[in-house]
Chain A
Amino acid sequence: MSVRGLVAVAGVECSKLAAQLKVRLLLAVCVAGPVAFAAAIRAQSSVPADTLFGRSVKESGFAVALVVLGFGALWVFPVLTSVVGGDLFSAEDRYGTWTTLLTRSRSRGEMFAGKLLTALGFSSIAVAAFAASSVAAGLLIVGPQPLIDLSGNVIAPATALRRVTLAWATVLPPAFGFTALAVLVSVATKNSAAGIGLPVVVGLTMQLYAFVDGPETVRRLMITSAFGAWHGLLAEPPYYRPLVQGTLVSATYFVVCVLIAYRVLRHRDIGGQR
C-alpha cells in the first residue's frame, strides 16, 4: 500500500462526497442547528434544567456549547459519524461500481484505507463544524460570560473557552469508533440503510443501558460512555480516568471494526455469485 495511492483514493472519495447534496445538507445542519438552539433558548423563558449546564444557558454562552455537546452525545454523534462511514462502501455495491474502481491502479488495501480516511475526515469535519457553531452561537447569542463548572467554581472566559474546546475534542475518539462500526456494517451488509441505521440503533441501545442499573464494567465497555468523558474536564480538580478509559474503549472498537471490515473487503468476490 502506498501513501500516494491512499491520497489518490481519498481525493476521489472527497470529490464524490462534495458532489452529494446530502453531505452538504448535513454539514449545513451541523452549522445551523446550534444557532437555532441558542436563539430558541434566548427567546424562551424556561431553561433545560435537567441537563448538565442547562441551568446556566442564559448566563454563559459556554454553557450553551456544553448543553449542545451533551445532547449531541445522546443523539447526534452516532448519526453524524455513520452517515458517510455507513454509506461509503455500500454505495459502491448500490451503484455496482466496485468493478469500475478495482480495475484501476489501486489495490483493495489502498481503496479501503482511502475510504476509511475519508469517513474519518468527514466525521472530524462534522464534529468540528458542530463544535465551532455551538461555541460561536453561544458566545454571539448569549455572551462570553464566565462559566460555573461542575464543582461550583467560576471559570474565567478564556479558561472556559479552552476547556469547552477540549471537551468537544474528547468526542473524536468515540466518533471514530462509531465511524469504524458504520464502515464494518457497510462493508459486511453491502447495505447503506444498515450501514447508517445499525450504528445509530447500537448507540441508542447503549445509551438506554446507561439508564439501567447494570454492571459498571459493562457500562464502561460501552462506546457511548466515552461521549460523556468530558465531564471530568469541567470539575475542580479535573479528573481524567473516564477520558482515558473512554479513549481506550473507543480505540478497541475502532481497531476491531477496521480489521474485520478490511478482512471482509479483501476476501470478497466482487460481482461473483453470492
Chain B
Amino acid sequence: MEEPLALEAVGVSKRYGDREALCGVALIARPGELHGLLGPNGAGKTTLMRVLLGLVRRDAGTVRLLGQALDSTASALPNGVAGFVETPAFYPYLSGRRNLSLLARLDDCARSRQNDRIDSALDKVGLAAQADDAVGGYSAGMRQRLGLAAVLLRRPRLLFLDEPTSSLDPAGARDVRAIARRLADEGTAVVLTSHDMVEVEELCTEITVIDRGRVAFSGSVATLRALAPAAIHVLHTSDDRAAFSLASERRGVKAKVSSADEGIELTAGIEALDAYVIALGRAGVAIRNLERRARSLESLFLELTGHDGGSEAPATAPCEVPDAARASLVVS
C-alpha cells in the first residue's frame, strides 16, 4: 500500500495585484523526507510557505496537510503541522520560556506535561540557559532557536522551516540541520527553504526549485545531480589567448571569455580539467589563478532560475491555473 503523503499541494497560485507570486505550484512531501525548497530571492518560496501554513489566501489550488484539506486561511493548522516563516517573532516583554508556555496553551498541551516539553525543546535548541531572559534582549539567532523550540512543542509530523539557519552561526546552523535530520529519521516530513544550494544538497533528499513563482525543477537530489552540468571555473593565465585556444581544442572542456579582466570561464568535469591544466603547463602557459565559480548543482540551479551569469531572465507567460495533470511535477 502506498504511504500517505504528508504534504500535497497542487496548482497553488497567488497573485498580489498585477504580480504573480505563485503560478500553479505543486509540492509533495512524504513522511521522513527532507524536502528543500530552493529559489532566488523573490522566487515565491516564502509566499508558498505562507500559503501552506494558512497565513496567506491562495487564489487557486488545493493543499492537504497530513491528509487534511487546508481551507485557505479559515481553519486552524492541523495538529502535527508546525513551522515558521522568516525570523520567528515573540513577545519581547516576556521571557523565552513564558512565550513557549503561552504557545503551548494554544496547542491544548496539558499543563502537567507542558513544563517538561518546554524544557526539552529549549534544551534541544541550546537555549536553556537564556530561557528566563526577556525575548526583547535576544539576538536574531536566539529568536530563530526559540522559533525552532516553538515548533518542536507541536511534535511535528510535517514541519515547514523558512531559511532556518539564516541568522545562525556555523555551530548553530549545524545543530539545526542535525535536528531537522533527526526529525526526518523519526518520520517527520521536513520542508525547508533556502537559497544555499550547499546546505540543501547536504541535507535534503528531494528538491523543488522555484523561480518567478513557478516550479523549475522537482525531484530527488540524485536526479538533479544527473542533470547537472560540470562545475564552472574561472582561469587566469600568463597568456589567456593561448589558453583559450588550447581549451577549444580539448574534448570535455568548454571555454568562454567574458572580458579581458575576468579571465576564461571553463565548464569541465574534474578529469577533463586536470588534463587541460597539465596541457597548459606543457604549452608553457602559466596558471595565475584557477577558482571554482559554481559547483555543479549550483550551475544547474543558476541555469534553472535563469541567473546564469548575466543572461536576461526569460519572460514568463501569464499564469494559467493548471488542472491536476498539468500541475504535476516538471521533473520527477
Q: Is A16 touching B94 in the complex (CB atoms < 8 A)? A: yes
- A99 in the interface (beta carbon within 8 A): yes
The answer to whether A266 touches B92, judged by C-beta atoms less than 8 angstroms apart, is no
Does B246 reach chain A (CB closer than 8 Å)?
no
Using CB atoms, name the residue of chain A closest to B46: A271
A136 to chain B: closest CB distance in Å? 32
- Given A4-B108, A105-B79, A269-B56, decide whether A99 and B93 contact each other with a Cβ distance below 8 A: no
Q: Closest approach, in angstroms, between the C-beta of A220 and any C-beta of chain B? A: 38
One digit per residue, 1 when the CB lies within 8 angstroms of any chain B CB and 0 when it does not, for chain A 260-274 equals: 000000111111110
Contacts of B151 in A (CB 8 A): 103
Question: Residues of A contacting B82 with CB < 8 Å?
Answer: 103
Residue B106 lies at the interface, judged by CB distance under 8 Å to chain A: yes
B74 within 8 A of A: yes
CA distance A93 to B98 in the complex (A): 20
B108, closest chain A residue (CB): A105
Residues of B within 8 Å of A, CB-based: how many?
Answer: 40
> Contacts A267-B57, A270-B50, A271-B85 given: A107-B154 contact, CB under 8 Å?
no
Min CB distance, B193 to chain A, in Å? 14
Interface bin, chain A: 20 to 34
A5-13, A167-175, A247-255: which lies at the interface: A5-13
Name the residue on A nearest B146 (C-beta).
A100
**Shortest beta-carbon distance, B288 to chain A, in Å?**
47
Any A CB within 8 A of the CB of B323: no
Contact A99 B85 (CB under 8 A): yes
Measured between beta carbons, the chain A residues less than 8 angstroms from B89 are 95-97, 99-100
A273 to B20, CA, bound (A): 11
A104 at the interface (CB under 8 A from B): yes
Over the window 179-194 of chain B, the binary record of Cβ atoms lying under 8 Å from chain A Cβ atoms (1 yes, 0 no) is 0000000000000000
* Residues of chain B within 8 A of A106, CB atoms compared: 76, 106
A110 within 8 A of B: yes
Q: Is A40 at the interface (CB under 8 A from chain B)?
A: no
Name the B residues within 8 Å of A9 (CB-CB): 106
Q: A19 and B76: CB pair below 8 A?
A: no
What A residues does B98 contact at CB under 8 A? 19
A105 in contact with B90 given A266-B74, A270-B56 (CB within 8 Å): no
Across-interface contacts of A273 in B (CB, < 8 A) = 16, 19, 21, 47
Residues 67-87 of chain B, each 1 if its beta carbon lies under 8 Å from chain A, else 0: 000000111110100111110
In the complex the two chains form, what is the Cα distance from A257 to B103 in whole Å? 28
Interface residues of B, Cβ cutoff 8 Å to A? 14, 16, 19, 21, 47, 50, 53-57, 73-77, 79, 82-86, 88-94, 98, 102-103, 105-108, 147, 150-151, 154
Q: Could you pull out 29 A-B pairs where Cβ atoms are within 8 angstroms?
A: A11-B105, A12-B106, A16-B94, A16-B102, A19-B98, A95-B89, A95-B91, A97-B91, A99-B86, A100-B88, A100-B90, A102-B55, A103-B77, A104-B106, A105-B107, A105-B108, A106-B106, A107-B76, A110-B76, A267-B73, A268-B73, A269-B55, A270-B55, A270-B56, A271-B86, A272-B21, A272-B47, A273-B16, A273-B21
